[in-house]
A and B are shown apart, each in its own frame.
Chain A
Amino acid sequence: MRILLSRIRENFLGSKLDVILSITGALFIYFILSTLISFILNSDWTLILVNRKLMLTGLMPEEEIWRAWTIFSLTTILMTTSIAFWFKINIKSSIFYILLLLIPLLIFTTKNTLLYVLFIMILSIVFFYLGYRSKNSELKNIVSRIIMISWIILLPICFLILNILDGPKMTLWGGFMINLILAAIAIFAGFPLGILLALGRASSYKLIKLISTLYIEVIRGAPLVAWLLLAWFVLPKFLPNLFGLSDLNIVVRAMIVLSLFASAYIAEVIRGGLQSIPKGQEEASFALGMNSISNTIFIVLPQAIRIVIPTIVSTFIAIFKDTSLVFILAITDLLRIGRLIPEQQQAFFGKSIESLAVVALLFWVVSLVLSQISRTIEKKLNI
Chain B
Amino acid sequence: MKNKVSKKKISVEAIGVTKSFGDFQALKGITANIYEGEVVVVFGPSGSGKSTFIRTINGLEEHNSGEITVNGIPLNDDVKNRDAIRGQVGMVFQQFNLFPHLSVLRNITLAPQKVKKLSKSESEKLAMSLLERVGIPEQAKKYPAQLSGGQQQRVAIARALAMQPKIMLFDEPTSALDPEMIKEVLDVMIELAQSGMTMICVTHEMGFAREVADRFLFFDEGLIVEEGTPEHFFNNPKEERTKLFLSQIL
Q: Which residues of A contact B (CB under 8 A)?
A: 278, 280-281, 283-291, 294, 298-299, 302-303, 306
Contacts and interface: CB of A to CB of B under 8 A. Distances in A.
A299 B58 CA distance: 20
A291 B110 CA distance: 12
B110 A298 contact: yes
B95 A288 contact: no
B58 A287 contact: yes
A318 B93 CA distance: 42
B100 A284 contact: no
B99 A290 contact: no
B91 interface: yes
B83 interface: yes
Contact of B114 (A284, A286, A294, A303): A294
B86 A287 contact: yes
Contacts of A302: 101
B163 A289 contact: yes
A285 B99 CA distance: 9
Contact of B115 (A278, A290, A299, A306): A290
A280 B97 contact: yes
Interface of B: 58-60, 83, 86-87, 89-91, 93, 95, 97-101, 110-111, 114-115, 156, 159-160, 163
Contacts of B83: 289, 291
12 contacts: A281-B97, A284-B98, A286-B59, A287-B58, A287-B91, A288-B111, A288-B160, A289-B115, A289-B163, A290-B111, A290-B115, A302-B101
A290 B58 CA distance: 13
A-B residue pairs, 10 tightest by C-beta: A288-B111, A284-B97, A280-B97, A287-B91, A289-B86, A289-B115, A294-B114, A289-B87, A303-B101, A302-B101
B107 to A, nearest CB: 9
Nearest to A279: B97
Contacts of A291: 83
B115 A287 contact: no
B111 A286 contact: no
Contacts of B60: 283, 286-287
Nearest to A298: B110
Given A289-B115, A298-B110, A284 B99 contact: yes
Give chain A's interface secondary structure class. helix
Q: Is the interface of B mostly helix, strand, loop or mixed?
A: mixed
Nearest to A291: B83
Nearest to A302: B101
A280 B89 CA distance: 17
A104 B232 CA distance: 83
A230 to B, nearest CB: 40
Contact of B86 (A278, A280, A286, A303): A286
Nearest to B89: A287
B164 to A, nearest CB: 11
Contacts of B93: 280, 283-284
Contacts of B95: 280
Contacts of A287: 58, 60, 86, 89-91, 160
A294 B86 CA distance: 15
A291 B115 CA distance: 8
Given A283-B93, A294-B115, A298-B110, 8 more contacts: A284-B98, A284-B156, A286-B59, A286-B86, A288-B160, A289-B86, A290-B110, A302-B101
Contacts of B110: 288, 290, 298
Nearest to A382: B145
A306 B101 CA distance: 9
A31 to B, nearest CB: 48
A252 B219 CA distance: 66
Residue in A284, A285, A287, A290 with the greatest tally of chain B CB atoms within 10 Å: A287
A104 B114 CA distance: 47
Contact of B163 (A283, A288, A298): A288
A285 B101 contact: no
A228 to B, nearest CB: 38
Contacts of A299: 99
B115 A303 contact: no
A98 to B, nearest CB: 32
B100 A303 contact: yes
A288 B159 contact: yes
A284 B156 CA distance: 9
A357 to B, nearest CB: 43
A289 B159 CA distance: 12
Contacts of A284: 91, 93, 97-99, 156
A129 to B, nearest CB: 28
Nearest to A299: B99
A379 to B, nearest CB: 15
Contacts of B160: 287-288
A302 B99 CA distance: 10
A241 B100 CA distance: 51
B114 A283 contact: no
A353 B114 CA distance: 59
Nearest to B55: A283
A302 B90 CA distance: 24
Contacts of A289: 83, 86-87, 111, 115, 163
Given A280-B95, A299-B99, A302-B101, A285 B86 contact: no
A294 B99 CA distance: 13
A299 B100 CA distance: 9
Given A289-B111, A289-B163, A281 B91 contact: no
Nearest to B169: A287
Most A Cβ at <10 Å: residue of B87, B91, B111: B111
B99 A281 contact: yes
A340 B195 CA distance: 82
